[in-house]
Homo-oligomer: A and B are copies of this chain.
């Protein structure tokens, strides 16, 4: 029997006990955003430290300006083993509206949901169930003689309320937290039978522009015609940001945007994903992005420019014949690959300035500029994990992207300079942040087994 097989066997014999441990953790009401639950957050951190210590980790609660962090270390006996940093968060979303829960959100239970057994409680999926899959895998490894990798664990208590202590904590503990790469368990499987690794997250550049013309609002009868209208100018300029094929017209915008590798492109094409059904869920039907790109590509692998807000002039009921003094818009760019956020912000501002008529000025505010996260497709760790997950689930692991950002990934990159493997076992239907949040029993046990295989693969 290989060490992996032996460890998986230990997991199997401890299913009930691992479920009871997760239930204990779920009973702690660690709602981070509400100060009334501060003691519960502390209690939750203490519980985790105790549990990790019981496994053999050197674990401690670390105070922050907000809720505490939990940090734990346990080395492999093999000195040259890779070092992984596992990230999860123990805080949960508030439970309101409470009346929509079928039972007490902090009294976990197993029930059948859509024909599958699921653990139902606040935090079952996001993120207590997910983080415990890794803890249980470590516990089984230790019971079988030791970990295949050096492991550092970081559990955050403020993920659901803005992670305000996280960047400072990472920066202040850079040496202690340094690892070869991070494992982040806060994402989904492709479906309940198909594992997935999230390898690409789009970055975000967010700009606000205000176009100003006259020194005061004007009457459109007296001044309409000769006076510049900043709303009109805003629509003209913003209306030029895309060409007829949906491509962004800013000079240099596509610098650093690579085509997908053939195998990933082929995998995405073969996925049982119905773009029309996805859009149909919000009463749309036609992909509105770049011509010739699938919905998945448009969401995961292609950059965008969107206007997220616009306002100017009179916006109440009825009519007012005003020519406003100014108009403004919030414009964001989802960036991919090696696109340079600062260059894009700068290109946007230059584009606006270059398209302004006389008498108009533009003022800008930056609301952030973060790059895309792109795990190299040829990364050894990625391919080891991909292989291991495939073996556990008996299906090819899907390499997916995410259209939005996951802040921790960028923080780990910028503060610790390490890449993250985003592997999670949650499902689209888990109702995270909503009433009756659930985590499939198959996610919980399959997740534990997956980590046993992934840790072994990473150490091979």
Point out residues on A near B: beta carbons under 8 Å: 202, 204, 206, 208, 213-216, 218-229, 231-232, 234-242, 275, 278-279, 282-290, 295, 298-299, 302, 304, 306-315, 318-324, 327, 329-330, 332, 334, 357-359, 367-368, 402-405
Contacts and interface: CB of A to CB of B under 8 A. Distances in A.
Contacts of A358: 285-286
Contacts of A330: 313-315, 319-320
A368 to B, nearest CB: 7
A363 B221 CA distance: 26
B235 A234 contact: yes
A242 B236 contact: yes
Contacts of A321: 204, 206, 308, 332, 404
Contacts of A334: 220-221, 224-225
- Copies of this protein in the assembly total 2
A220 B333 CA distance: 9
14 contacts: A206-B321, A214-B283, A215-B282, A222-B403, A224-B334, A225-B289, A226-B278, A226-B289, A227-B282, A284-B359, A288-B359, A307-B313, A310-B327, A321-B404
A50 B411 CA distance: 85
Contacts of A302: 225
Contacts of A221: 202, 204, 334, 402-405
| Chain A interface, DSSP helix/strand/loop, else mixed | mixed
Contact of A224 (B227, B304, B320): B304
Nearest to A328: B315
Contact of A235 (B284, B295, B310): B310
A278 B368 CA distance: 41
A357 B286 contact: yes
A260 to B, nearest CB: 14
Contacts of A310: 231, 234-235, 310-313, 315, 327
Contact of A232 (B231, B307, B311, B324): B307
